Structures are given as structure tokens and as C-alpha cells.
Amino acid sequence: MAHGLTGQGGFTDSGLAALDAAMTRHVDSGAVPGLVALVARGEQVHVTVAGQATAGTGPPMRRDSIFRIASMTKPIVGVAAMLLISDGAMALSDPVDRWLPELAGRRVLRSLESPLSDTVPAERAITVEDVLSFRLGFGTIMTTGDYPIAAAEASLGLKTLGPPWPPCRLTPDEWIAGLGSLPLLDQPGERFRYNTGATVAGILIERVAGRPLAEVLARRVFEPLGMTDTGFFVPAAKLDRFTSMYTPGGSREAGTDHLTLVDSPDGWYAAPPVLPDGCAMLVSTVDDLWAFSRMLAGALAGRAGARAGQPGEQAGRGVGLPPDAAAAMLRDRTTPRDKAESPWFFGGQDAARPSGWGLMMAVPARAGSAGAGPAGTAPAASQVADGRPGGYGWDGGSGTAWRTDPATGLTGILLTQRMLTSPAAPPATRDFWKAAYAALALRLGGAGLVPAGHQRAMRQVRGTDLLAAVTAGRDRVQVVPAGVDEGRRRCRHGPPVTPGPQGRQDRAQVIARPGQRVLVTRRVVAVLPPLDHARCLERPEAGGEPVPGRAGVAGDLVEPAVAEADLPDGEQRPLLADQAERRRHRARPPRKIPPGQLVK
């Protein structure tokens, strides 16, 4: 039986309409020339298409428009690496010296400020896992300063410590030789440094497979998944579907909201690149990326035989990514120091956004680390309100984003043409995630929507409050509706309860087990996060059996209830004890309860 906030409920019609409107506003304002957005949950997929492929007089955007996906390349290349590992061609623990002799016998800078000659020997070899987890000892420097190593990297044209555009003009062999001529910044495995590992991973895949990276990706990933529009360049026959890319800084008089053209369809991607960079150089469409995300979700669930239309269908079988390989990609390998030194990659200092880094992509933070809950934790209400998704995936500096959130069953993909100018998500991306989560039809218990006959007996709760009820991260948690006086909390069933903060009664419980799946036990009939009208009944029986039947719709006022058939021993009763009590309850004026006040 599926428990918690699961994916069978799909989306609300009003929520999807609000999503379309939110995305269209950003196009109408000129903030982005156009976009394609996809949200999916269970069998329901919704796509928003708005604007133009090129600002001004360009053709209209299409669902199959092709975008530069930038760093969303990384997870795709990561899957190709894991397929080679599953084949036995290499292992995570293998030193890369066997295939990349240019990286053997490493020296390490004594400090970032040191001249290139001031080094110490590496304590060990770089491993495959170091490369895929971005702990090989070289990558983005998150502090400002004039560092000799940065100047040397720039002089070699590696383009790994800064933006990837214009594309690097070195061949893979030339690039890895250039990196091998430089000392490392850190000891292998010592700390997370973004970016460089992805380019190394692409070259490593070429050396292990004995084929160009583009061919490996096509044969092992793109063709089995039907990703016909994904690659390192756009063929001439498809250039009419290729979008332009912009950076803020254009002319308001030109109607482009200060956007400057960076690359046109006949520019950098019109021919195969010199360096097929595993860091950031793929192009793709929303449906190709949706096929990839479904495959990965299916592999994680171990559902290679699932029915068509669900994660793990025939496309997943064709790729053949084993569940343990997918799970290895999602294991967080970051440390508290990594999070402190690279806050932009891990949600800043906000403990409500548990984020880490696995193999080639962002993942939920490891249980027990700062700000973390168990894998699969739903994002807190404050996180959703700020437009920050949960789950795994990654964003692209070209204005793209993807996450799959196992806690809610949501997959979201956003493709725009406006480059990022800082690590912070732009307004269009934040609004996309806000609207996507708000459109979810949430349910507790996973056993079906509330029967229509119980509408009269249900009380109102916002879907974002339901999300807040599953962020506890402990084996047993009490979720207490705050600000409810004792008179309004009176219940007809159940033993006496202990007064909560400020003398208020604490009855409503959520039992959250490891893995953050929410169960409602037999002892609790109504599970209510902070409410305007907070009331509950408790069953006198204690036990651990889940009770199905409650539902919520995010973004709307909805009413969770219990089906009569779910009550023990065939007993049937409404949630409120009698008609008079219901009348008194309705007669009381609404009282706003501060959200998010959870007692754990």
C-alpha cells in the first residue's frame, strides 16, 4: 500500500490554469521571450507553451522547440557513466589513471593563493567516484580573489572555472592534457567543487567505451529512450525549431526587457563541437527530458515491468539502468563543510531546503546532515512558497530547470532562453515551482479520494499546510494545530490529552516513519496541520495500521475526511459527533491560525 503524499492524485484543473497564467505573465512582460514548461504526476502530464523561439519577430514557440540545456547535461552524462559501471567496464572505486594517465601522479596546491610551483603530493589517486561526485580536487572557486591557478586555467582555454560559452575549442585529448598540466586545488575526495568533474566524466566515458561521447550517449541513452532531438548540435533540418539564447542587458525600447542575444540558431550549435562537453553542451526538448526523467524514476523504483505510461516502462528497460545504480546516483556525498563553502548549490542556510549532491546532480540531503530529512522528504511549506523544489535533478545556466520530487510524485521541467546571471533562481523559475506545487492534488494514505457523500462532514485545509505536515524527519512526530483554544478542540472520542503550548490541546498526530512516508494510525481519524477550523476525533484504539481516505488539493481550500468503511468493526459515524455540534462549529467565525507552527 502506498502511503504519504503520493502521485496518484494528479493535478487540479484550477492549479494548472494558474500555472499557465503564471508562465504566460513572464512572457507577456518580456522577461523571457518564450518558454516550454512540463509538470507530470502519475499518468497526468501538462505542458505549457508560450512566446517565441526568437525575441521580436521569431517563430512561435512549439512543444518540440529545441533548447540549450546547459548543466542539465550533467545528469544525462552521469547515467551513461553508471551504465558503464553496471556493465563492469569500470567501478566507482577504480582510480582513473588507467584511462586518464594525464591525471596520474597529481600534485596539490598548498593553498589557493599559492603559485603553481608551491605544491604537495596528492595523498591518493583520483577515483571514478571522485570525478562523478565532483570531489576530484578541481572545480569552481566560490571565493573571490586573484588566484594564480585561475589565471593559468584561463590561459589554457579550459573554460571549466567559468561559463562554458563560447564553447571550448580544445579536443578532448587536448583538454584533459591541459588539466593534467595544472596542480589540483584540493586533495582528492577532500571537498566538493562544482563543474570540472563533468567534463572529465565525459572524456572518461570516451576512453572506457572506446567511442566518442556523442556516440555512447546516442546508443546507450538517447535511442533507447526515443530522445530524438537531444545531442551536442542541431542538424540543419531541425534549425527551424532551435531557440535563440539571451542574457539580460538589452534595450527596453526594443521590447526585449533588456535582453541581449548571445547565440542564434545558426551559431555555436549548428555543427558538431570540437569538445563534446559533458558539463553543459547538450541541446534537448521538453519531451526528451521527460523521457529521461521517467526512466530514472522507474529505475529508482525498480519498476522495469510497470505498465505503459508509468515510470519504468519499455523505455526504461531499453536503457537497463539497474535500481542500485540509480540509487547510488542519489546518495548524498556532501559534508557540512561543503554546504558552508558552496551555499548556492545546497539551498543557502535555509534548513527547510534539504539539498545535497550525489553523482552528477543535486539530490535530497543525507539524513542526519544539517537541514536534512530522510530521502523522499516533501519540501516544507516555506520552501514551496519561495519557489524551491524538492527531490533530485539540476538546473542549467541557459535558463532551464528539472526536478523529480519522490515525496510528492511531481516532475517539473522548465525550458527558457534567458541565461542565469547569478546562482539564485530567476523569477520565472521560482514562479514555475510555486505554481507546480500549488497545482498538486495531494492525498494522505494513498487509498483514493474522499467520497462525495462525506463533503458535508469535512473541514478546510490548504494543500501547502499538508506539505508542512510531512517535514518532520523523525520516527514519531506530533503535528499540532497552533492557536486553537480548548473549547474548539473538544473531541468526543479518545483518552484525555496533555495541554500543549499556552494551555492548548494537542490531539492531531502524524506518525512519520523513516523515509518520510506519512501514515495515519488507527488512533487518529483526522490529521490536521494548522487550520482555520481545527477539529478532530481520535479513535480510542491504538495501533499502527494506516487509515486511508483523506485528501487535499494544494492551492484551494479543501476538506480531508475519513470514509465510513474505514472505521473499525464496521462502525460508521461522521467526523463531527452530531448535527448540533456541526451547527456550532459552522457558526463560529473563522480564526486565522499562524501556519508552520509544528510541535515535534
Residue range 31-53, pLDDT digits in tens: 999 999 999 998 899 999 999 99
Top pLDDT among 352 and 127 is at 127
- Distance between CA atoms of residues 495 and 275, nearest Å: 70
pLDDT confidence of residue 79:
98
- Distance between CA atoms of residues 281 and 199, nearest Å: 10
Top pLDDT among 119 and 555 is at 119
Q: Quick check: 66 pLDDT over 90? A: yes
Closest CA to 295 of 189, 220, 215: 220
Q: Quick check: 362 pLDDT over 50? A: yes
Q: Quick check: 77 pLDDT over 50? A: yes
* Per-residue model confidence as pLDDT tens digits over 155-166: 999 999 988 889
Domain topology for 76-213: Beta-lactamase (3.40.710)
Q: Quick check: 117 pLDDT over 60? A: yes
93-107, 336-350, 412-426, 564-578 — which one is most confidently predicted on average?
93-107
CA distances from 78 to 72, 220, 233, 523, 588 (A): 10, 12, 19, 45, 57
pLDDT confidence of residue 346:
80
Q: Are 100 and 199 in contact (CB under 8 A)?
A: no
Return the residue matching grid coordinates 521538453: 286
Q: List, in sequence order, the alpha helices (H) in 92-147.
A: 128-132
CA distances from 150 to 141, 342, 456, 485 (A): 9, 18, 67, 62
| pLDDT band at 369; cut points 50, 70, 90 | low
pLDDT confidence of residue 387:
64
Q: Are 513 and 531 in contact (CB under 8 A)?
A: no
For the chain, counts of helices (H) and of strands (E): 16, 20
One-letter amino acid at 531 equals: L
- Distance between CA atoms of residues 375 and 362, nearest Å: 12
CATH 3.40.710.10 for domain 11-61+215-442:
yes
pLDDT confidence of residue 269:
97
Return the residue matching grid coordinates 537541514: 371
pLDDT confidence of residue 429:
94
**DSSP symbol at 243:** P
Top pLDDT among 407 and 313 is at 407
Q: Quick check: 456 pLDDT over 50? A: no
pLDDT confidence of residue 43:
85
pLDDT confidence of residue 443:
43
- Distance between CA atoms of residues 42 and 275, nearest Å: 38
pLDDT confidence of residue 164:
87
Compute the chain's Rg from CA coordinates.
Answer: 26
Q: Stretch 511-535: mean pLDDT, rounded?
A: 29
323-351 b/e (C-beta count within 10 Å ≥ 16 → b): eebbebbbebbbbeebbeebeebbbeebe
- How many CB atoms are closer than 10 A to CB 93? 9
Q: Quick check: 120 pLDDT over 60? A: yes
Q: Stretch 434-456: mean pLDDT, rounded?
A: 51
Closest CA to 599 of 458, 491, 498: 498
Provide the whole-model pTM.
Answer: 0.74
Q: Quick check: 450 pLDDT over 60? A: no
Q: Stretch 139-158: mean pLDDT, rounded?
A: 94
- Distance between CA atoms of residues 417 and 422, nearest Å: 15
| pLDDT band at 357; cut points 50, 70, 90 | very high
pLDDT confidence of residue 406:
87
| Average pLDDT taken over every residue of the chain | 73
pLDDT confidence of residue 142:
87
| pLDDT band at 1; cut points 50, 70, 90 | very low
| pLDDT band at 558; cut points 50, 70, 90 | very low
pLDDT confidence of residue 423:
78
The H or E element that residue 346 is part of is none
Closest CA to 225 of 235, 237, 234, 217: 217
Q: Quick check: 196 pLDDT over 60? A: yes
Q: Stretch 487-492: mean pLDDT, rounded?
A: 33
pLDDT confidence of residue 378:
45
- Distance between CA atoms of residues 34 and 12, nearest Å: 24
Q: Are 32 and 26 in contact (CB under 8 A)?
A: yes
Q: Are 391 and 364 in contact (CB under 8 A)?
A: yes
Q: List, in sequence order, the alpha helices (H) in 245-313.
A: 286-301
Q: Stretch 469-487: mean pLDDT, rounded?
A: 30
pLDDT confidence of residue 416:
98
Q: Are 85 and 204 in contact (CB under 8 A)?
A: no
Is residue 519 helix, strand or coil? strand
Q: Quick check: 491 pLDDT over 90? A: no
- Distance between CA atoms of residues 485 and 62, nearest Å: 54
* CATH 3.40.710.10-classified regions of the chain: 11-61+215-442, 76-213
Quote the percentage of the chain above a pLDDT of 90.
53
Q: Are 269 and 238 in contact (CB under 8 A)?
A: no
Q: Quick check: 178 pLDDT over 70? A: yes
